[in-house]
Each structure stands twice: as C-alpha cells, then as structure tokens.
Amino acid sequence: MSFDLVLFGGTGDLAWRKLLPALFQAFRHGSLPPQGRIIGVARDALSDGDYRALIARRFADVEGEKRPSDEEFERFAALLQYQRMDLSQPEDYALLARRLHERHADTVVMYLATAPALFTTVCEQLGAAGLATPATRVVLEKPLGHDLASNRAINAAVRSVFDERQIFRIDHYLGKPSVQNLLALRFGNALFEPLWRRETVASIEITMAEQLGVEQRGAFYDQTGALRDMVQNHALQLLCAIAMEPPINAHADAIRDEKLKVLRSLSTWTPATLLRDVVRGQYSTGTTACEGVRAYADEDGVAPGSTTETFVALRTEIANWRWAGVPFYIRTGKRLAAREAHIAINFRPTPHAIYRTPLGAANRLVIHLQPRDGLALHLFAAGQEKRGMRISEAQALAPVQLDLDFDQRFGSQRVGAYERLLLDVIAGRLNLFVRADEQEAAWHWVEPIMQAWAEQDARGEGPRPYAAGSWGPSAASALVAREGHTWMEEC
C-alpha cells in the first residue's frame, strides 16, 4: 500500500519531538508501509535536503536505543520531502495538489500539527484545491477549540469538507499500551467483570501528575490551563475506558457509542457541587526539593496576575445502574511531587471482618500509565507466624502486592502511542480516535466549571496556591477525605 503523509507544521515542536520519531520507529520496526512519502510543510524556505538535515540534527538529541544510526537515518530520510507553504494562499495548495497527483497514493494523510485556529482554513483550502478525495484522511491535534461553541464551529467546518469517517481526532493517551491493556483487562478477561460495579467498588481515582512546569509553553498554556489541556480530553477518555459498558463488538463506533453514554451520564454540575467538588490550584515557588523553581506567575509568557490553573482536582459520579453512588476522583497538575499517571480502583472492605487489617488499607487494583506501564493488585495475606506470637497478632493480615510490569513482560521495544496512532491513521482504523459527539459531550460537561471560575475571578477569588514539588493544594486532600478516601500516595 502506498501512502503520502503531509505534515502541516513540519518544522514545529510536535513534528520533530513526537511525530517524526514515531514514524522512524515504525520504519525501523518494519510496520510503515514501504511505498511511503512524508512531506513536511511549513513557511520556511527549505529544500528537501535542508529539511532532511534539519531533522537529522533534531534526531541527534534522541537518547538510548531510539536514536537512529547514520545508516538507519539515511534510509528513513529517503522518505522525507519538504514543501514551503503559506497556509492562507490558495496557489500554495495548488502546488501541493500537483505534487500529490504525481503518483496518486492509495492513502493521503493530512496531519494538522498546527495551531487549532488554522484547522478551518486548512480544511477549506484542501477542499477548494480538490485534495479532499475519498483517499484522504485528516488528523486534528488537540485542543480542538477552547469551549463548546468553538469546538462545534471547528467540527462543522471540517465536516463540510470531510466525512466523519475521514476525520481522526487524536488523543495520544488512547494510544498508550497501558490504555490498550486496560481495555483488554476489562473485556478480555472474565475475572474482573463481576467486581466492576458499585456493589464492590468504593471509589476510583485518576491521577495525571507532572513534575515539569510550563517550560517554553507559557504563552500557550496561559490561554489553556489544566482543565482544557488535560481534563476535557485525556482524563475523561480514561474515565470512559474505566466506566463504559462492554461494546457489542470491537468496531470503532461500537466502542465510541459506549464512551458517549458515559460522558452523557456524568453528574450535572450545580452551584453547590461546583463549589464543593472542584479544586483549582496554581503553583508557587518550590519546596526544598524544588528550590529555585519559579512560580507560575513568574514564568515567561504568563500574563501578570494570571488566574490560569495549573492544577485541578474534582469529584464526580456516573448516574447509571452500574456506577450510581461511586465517587470518581480526577487529579492533574504541573510541578507536582512526581511524574506519575495511574488509575486506582479501590474496592470495598469485606462485609464482615474476621481478620485485622492495617488501618486505612484496602484491596486496590492500580493501572500504571507512566512512567511505568503495568498493573498492581493490592491484597492481604496472613503474615508468617513466629514462636511466642500472641493469638491476636497471628490473626492480623499484612498487605501484599501482585505486580505485573508490561515492559519486562513484553519487552522494551513495544509500540509507542504516536507510532500506534499514526499506523492506525494510515490503515484507516478509527477505534482509538475521538468522535465529534464525544468531544462535544466532554466540552458540555466542563463548561460550567469554566463559567464558575470566571465568576470567581470577577470576585477576586483566584486559584489556590500550592508549593512546587508538593501534591497540590491541601483542599485536594480534603476533597477525598470527607468521604473516608485518600489519594494513592497518602495511603
């Protein structure tokens, strides 16, 4: 199968840091169809050779086994071409069309690694240039809009040119091997299904923590914030994977139909729950472990007096028969104590305790997403009895852990998130991509939070400060503690 992949934003940060390394790994693994061509598009005046040299310099920063040898890169570079384009000029699209029509590839992928404000313009120009053919697929990076209205406007504009089956809205979390294993855990094994419900689950925690701050993205992040950047997309997609009903089959729309039901079942926000169940934070100067770290307000590109949140913790419920009454806690933030992403399913205690268990301990299934990829099942077992031990001590249980590290089990050369997603785009598989109605349902759910924060800002009630290197504002611990729960690191 032949393919052309046109990479709009071909000299940008996302292209050289994520997309081109992922395409190289697919090439190295033999997964990339051999009759392929990758065309970088940007405003810079570069030749094909200049572009290859630019990417070679970028690849020199890659560390470890993922760094290509000179011979490997030379073979990969043969796929790379470049075209200078002004994305607002129709004549530049005509030149691109002429280049693509040279060989009529079986599949043409238009990857829009640009600012979302350009999505509408690019898609309209592609349509006008005759480049929106049945063989064309368009990939849209997040964020797709900044609220529900802008999301609907972008989707409407894109759908005026492309059919829904041609639109691949990418969320790289869905390509992570650990998320694929989450779906396999749920729907490929009979062991957990009887336990996956309100009668046995006490609470569910989704944590996505970063140690880094905004780095060089201050201006972008100040217009986005943690709610738009992480909760509206990544966190809610993980929640859907945890809470969805088994689909009737593994086809894309069957899976996405079930995810949509979850999003539409999320508890509706009220003024009381917005005040009680949502914590907004912004990092200040660091703890001892983060001495010298600047506060968010002092980062380059951040507006003076900014109230943009760098931390969100919230509690919600799913109003259906399987999950009614079970609290779902979501937490994400920058400059936290560790780089850690996980989902913790906390089970209810036994109905009648005949053994003593450690205070606050519980059976728990933890799905680790990063930096490690695996599963840990927390159980209790009888400790080894010793001579002279009192009867009460012999009846006490000790926590034990069954740990599965997927990298050790399956090897370190597993397919990365962007590699998997790019190969799925080329193959036309939509399972791991987000449908328009999913996105709209997610925006509809987070919009009351944004509106409540705007009202708080008008009253001078900004985000709660937290020290860089901590786990966020103390109010986040209080959020879960009032129902007798704790975040996983507090157990």
**What pLDDT digit, counting tens, does each position of 466-479 carry?**
999 999 999 999 99
Is the omega angle on the peptide bond into residue 194 within 30 degrees of 0, that is, cis?
no
pTM of the model: 0.92
* Beta-carbon contacts of residue 488 (< 8 Å; ≥ 6 apart): 205, 207, 342, 344, 364, 366
pLDDT at 38 > cutoff 90: yes
| Mean pLDDT, the chain, integer | 91
Whether 405 and 370 have beta carbons less than 8 Å apart is answered as: no
Handedness of CA 262, 375, 336, 209 (dihedral sign): negative
Alpha carbon distances (Å) from 54 to 21, 36, 47, 345: 13, 20, 11, 46
Of the residues 138, 169, 200, the one at which a domain ends: 169
Provide the 8-state DSSP code for 462.
Answer: -
Is the omega angle on the peptide bond into residue 371 within 30 degrees of 0, that is, cis?
yes
Whether residue 56 sits in one domain with residue 182: no
**Catalytic site positions:** 234
Whether residue 392 sits in one domain with residue 306: yes
Pairwise pLDDT comparison (288 vs 279), residue with the higher score: 279
Whether residue 82 sits in one domain with residue 13: yes
Mean pLDDT, residues 47-70? 86
Q: What is the pLDDT of residue 60?
A: 79
CA proximity to 315, closest of 396, 203, 427: 203
Q: What is the pLDDT of residue 386?
A: 55
Q: Which residues are annotated as a binding site for substrate?
A: 172, 176, 210, 229, 334
The whole domain housing 404 covers: 174-414+436-490
> Residue 425: inside a domain, yes or no?
no
> Residue 424: inside a domain, yes or no?
no
Q: What is the pLDDT of residue 388?
A: 53
Q: What is the pLDDT of residue 412?
A: 56
CA distance 398 to 356: 9
CA distance 205 to 343: 6
Q: What is the pLDDT of residue 87?
A: 95
Give residue 255's pLDDT band: very low, low, confident or very high (50, 70, 90): very high
Q: What is the pLDDT of residue 389?
A: 52
Whether residue 301 sits in one domain with residue 188: yes
Number of domains in the chain: 2
> Residue 250: inside a domain, yes or no?
yes
Whether residue 156 sits in one domain with residue 9: yes
pLDDT at 161 > cutoff 90: yes
Mean pLDDT, residues 146-169? 95
Pairwise pLDDT comparison (216 vs 277), residue with the higher score: 277
> Residue 75: inside a domain, yes or no?
yes
pLDDT at 206 > cutoff 90: yes
Mean pLDDT, residues 191-211? 95
Among 298-302, 389-393, 398-402, 433-437, where is mean pLDDT lowest?
A: 389-393
> Residue 426: inside a domain, yes or no?
no
Q: What is the pLDDT of residue 291?
A: 61
CB atoms within 10 A of CB 206: 23
Q: 3-state DSSP call for residue 436?
A: helix
Query: Which tokens go with 412?
Result: 């370190």
Query: Which tokens go with 153?
Result: 């406007």
Whether residue 472 sits in one domain with residue 353: yes
Looking up residue 227, the CATH number of its domain turns out to be 3.30.360.10
Give residue 149's pLDDT band: very low, low, confident or very high (50, 70, 90): very high
Whether residue 482 sits in one domain with residue 467: yes
* Beta-carbon contacts of residue 7 (< 8 Å; ≥ 6 apart): 15, 19, 20, 38, 39, 40, 41, 111, 113
pLDDT at 381 > cutoff 90: no
Of the residues 169, 196, 229, the one at which a domain ends: 169
pLDDT at 491 > cutoff 80: no
Of the residues 139, 154, 169, the one at which a domain ends: 169
3-state secondary structure 361-381: CCCEEEEEEECCCEEEEEEEE
Mean pLDDT, residues 252-264? 96
> Residue 429: inside a domain, yes or no?
no
In degrees, rounded to 5, the angle at the alpha carbon of residue 167 between the alpha carbons of residues 163 and 168 is: 160
pLDDT at 340 > cutoff 80: yes
Dihedral (C-alpha) 26, 27, 28, 29: value to the nearest 10 degrees?
A: 50
Q: What is the pLDDT of residue 390?
A: 54
CA proximity to 118, closest of 147, 149, 88: 88
pLDDT at 463 > cutoff 80: yes
CA distance 380 to 349: 11
Whether residue 326 sits in one domain with residue 293: yes
CA proximity to 243, closest of 169, 333, 321, 171: 321
Alpha carbon distances (Å) from 437 to 144, 379, 451: 13, 40, 21
Whether residue 181 sits in one domain with residue 47: no
Q: What is the pLDDT of residue 359?
A: 67
Q: 3-state DSSP call for residue 40?
A: strand
The amino acid sitting at 110 is: M
pLDDT at 355 > cutoff 70: yes
Mean pLDDT, residues 81-96? 96
Pairwise pLDDT comparison (58 vs 325), residue with the higher score: 325
Q: Which residues are annotated as a binding site?
A: 43, 86-87, 142, 172, 176, 210, 229, 334
Provide, rounded to the nearest whole percent, the portion of the chain with pLDDT above 90: 72
pLDDT at 240 > cutoff 60: yes
Q: What is the pLDDT of residue 399?
A: 84
Whether residue 199 sits in one domain with residue 158: no
Looking up residue 88, the CATH number of its domain turns out to be 3.40.50.720
Whether residue 449 sits in one domain with residue 327: yes
Whether 131 and 108 have beta carbons less than 8 Å apart is answered as: yes
Whether residue 269 sits in one domain with residue 352: yes
> Residue 215: inside a domain, yes or no?
yes
CA distance 483 to 57: 53
> Residue 370: inside a domain, yes or no?
yes
The amino acid sitting at 198 is: R
Q: Which residues are annotated as a binding site for NADP(+)?
A: 43, 86-87, 142
